[in-house]
């Protein structure tokens, strides 16, 4: 038995439309009807319920049995992929027309509360056998049962087929409308991203934004759009848009540490979709440091470097911690990860690699560019240093002058 996880029945089609179809059906055929969701819960008001069934449902046990019987009927119809005619727990004849979207069960249209003219099945006696032990009055049951309509089997089958075709057509149209709306939203988001990408290409020599990150993000958005509604997709699009706009605008500027942390939050929002719980991030900055000025894009390249080179190779992932504290007349910002670590030989080469020869898988200006830009603004006594142990993790220190 499948569950249709993308939408609830009430989200696919306006229940008022289903109600009108159901009411017209019952008015025309004289057959009671109700629409239930995938869990057997009604989503419409019953149409032309018999007094007999209303009486049975007035008892708690009777109502529970009716609900369970409706649920079983709908699921049995789903298993058969077509309408299913059956006897309810009270001996009457019901049928269930499954509502199926892309081979997934989203609910059923239940109808019946009639008696078939069978010679080999005594519906009246069966009713007494099933309901009398529940404490219901035999006389009331008999009188109400006598009012139940007797309908030929071919009429029941025709009604079941009609409901099946109509309900599924309406629901399929509803799903089509939803998908079209989502596609329009995705096209709008894609157009916005394409505009940002064109702007990024124009400033590629400045920003050096690695295309791998952009395409990985676009792939993530595409996957999300297939798996869920638009909300999380929009969150990722907005995070990416803010990140690109900020980076392209501030590439040659100083900005506050607080603004840098905002860009890191946007970046981590995107990466959390890609990596899920594999990577945890913690930010602990002394409040007094948030207003200090630092070169734009000083943190993001280091955080991405920690994820791509430190944590992504580890199957179990790990965590990143960004801390900031004052130390005498200096400030230290530390990006730590519990990744695979860097050998001492590799650390010694990072600061000596010629810019034209680097092809690192990082976003932004890269580790060495951050180091050089900090020295440009504050002097050679400041910049980056790296401490690492292979298999345990890496700490990258940003040494800055005091903000006082």
CATH of residue 238:
3.30.565.10
Q: Based on the domain organization, do 60 and 160 belong to the same domain?
A: yes
- 180 pLDDT band, cuts 50/70/90, is low
Mean pLDDT of the chain: 78
| 326 vs 243, higher pLDDT | 326
Task: Please give the structure tokens belonging to residue 98.
Answer: 């499954």
Distances (CA, A) of 99 to 48, 133, 172, 201, 328: 21, 35, 9, 49, 71
Establish if 66 belongs to a structural domain: yes
Residue 218 has pLDDT above 60, yes or no: no
- 155 pLDDT band, cuts 50/70/90, is confident
> 59 lies in which domain range?
9-176
Number of domains in the chain: 2
User: How much is the pTM?
Assistant: 0.43
Greatest mean pLDDT range, 45-59, 182-196, 329-343, 360-374? 329-343
CB 14 within 8 A of CB 103: no
Establish if 167 belongs to a structural domain: yes
pLDDT given at position 172: 67
**Percentage of the chain modeled with pLDDT above 90:** 17
Q: Based on the domain organization, do 378 and 284 belong to the same domain?
A: yes
Alpha-carbon distance 141 to 122, whole Å? 15
Is the Cα torsion angle 328, 332, 336, 340 positive or negative in sign?
negative
**Span 292-310, average pLDDT:** 89
Q: What are the pLDDT digits (tens) for 47-78?
A: 888 899 888 888 889 888 888 888 888 888 88
Q: Based on the domain organization, do 230 and 364 belong to the same domain?
A: yes
| 313 vs 121, higher pLDDT | 313
Q: Based on the domain organization, do 251 and 117 belong to the same domain?
A: no
Residue 239 has pLDDT above 90, yes or no: no
Last residue of a domain, one of 176, 211, 232: 176
pLDDT given at position 247: 63
Q: Based on the domain organization, do 309 and 274 belong to the same domain?
A: yes
Alpha-carbon distance 29 to 36, whole Å? 20
Alpha-carbon distance 402 to 289, whole Å? 9
- 197 pLDDT band, cuts 50/70/90, is low
322, β-bridge pairs? 283, 335
């Amino acid at each position: 038995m499948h569950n249709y996880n993308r939408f609830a029945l009430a989200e696919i089609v306006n229940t008022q439309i289903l109600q009108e179809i159901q009411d017209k059906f019952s008015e025309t055929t004289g057959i009671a009807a109700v629409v239930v969701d995938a869990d057997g819960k009604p989503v419409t008001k019953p149409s032309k319920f018999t007094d007999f069934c209303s009486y049975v449902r007035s008892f708690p046990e009777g109502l529970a049995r009716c609900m369970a019987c409706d649920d079983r009927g709908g699921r049995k119809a789903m298993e058969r992929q077509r309408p299913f005619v059956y006897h309810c727990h009270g001996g009457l004849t019901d049928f269930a027309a499954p509502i199926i979207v892309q081979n997934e069960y989203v609910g059923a249209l239940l109808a019946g509360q009639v008696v078939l003219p069978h010679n080999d099945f005594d519906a009246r006696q069966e009713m007494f056998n099933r309901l009398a032990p529940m404490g219901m009055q035999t006389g009331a049951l008999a009188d109400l049962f006598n009012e139940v309509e007797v309908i030929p089997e071919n009429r029941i089958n025709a009604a079941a087929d009609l409901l099946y075709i109509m309900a599924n057509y309406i629901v399929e149209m509803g799903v089509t409308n939803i998908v079209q709306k989502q596609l329009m939203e995705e096209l709008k988001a894609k157009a916005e991203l394409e505009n940002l990408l064109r702007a990024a290409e124009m400033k590629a020599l400045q920003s050096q934004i690695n295309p791998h990150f952009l395409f990985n993000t676009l792939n993530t958005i595409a996957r999300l759009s297939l798996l869920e509604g638009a909300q999380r997709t929009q969150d990722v699009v907005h995070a990416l848009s803010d990140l690109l706009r900020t980076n392209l605008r501030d590439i040659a500027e100083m900005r506050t540490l607080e603004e840098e942390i905002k860009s890191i939050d946007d970046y981590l929002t995107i990466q959390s979709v890609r990596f899920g719980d594999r990577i945890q991030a913690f930010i602990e900055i002394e409040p007094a440091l948030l207003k200090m000025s630092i070169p734009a894009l000083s943190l993001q390249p280091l955080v991405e470097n920690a994820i791509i080179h430190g944590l992504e190779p580890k199957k179990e992932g790990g965590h990143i911690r960004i801390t900031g504290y004052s130390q005498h007349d200096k400030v230290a910002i530390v990006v730590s990860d519990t990744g695979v670590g860097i050998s001492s030989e590799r650390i010694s080469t990072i600061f000596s690699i010629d810019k034209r020869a680097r092809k690192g898988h990082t976003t932004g200006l890269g580790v060495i560019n951050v180091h050089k830009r900090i020295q440009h603004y504050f002097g050679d006594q400041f910049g980056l240093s790296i401490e690492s142990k292979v298999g345990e993790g890496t700490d990258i220190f940003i040494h800055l002058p005091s903000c006082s």
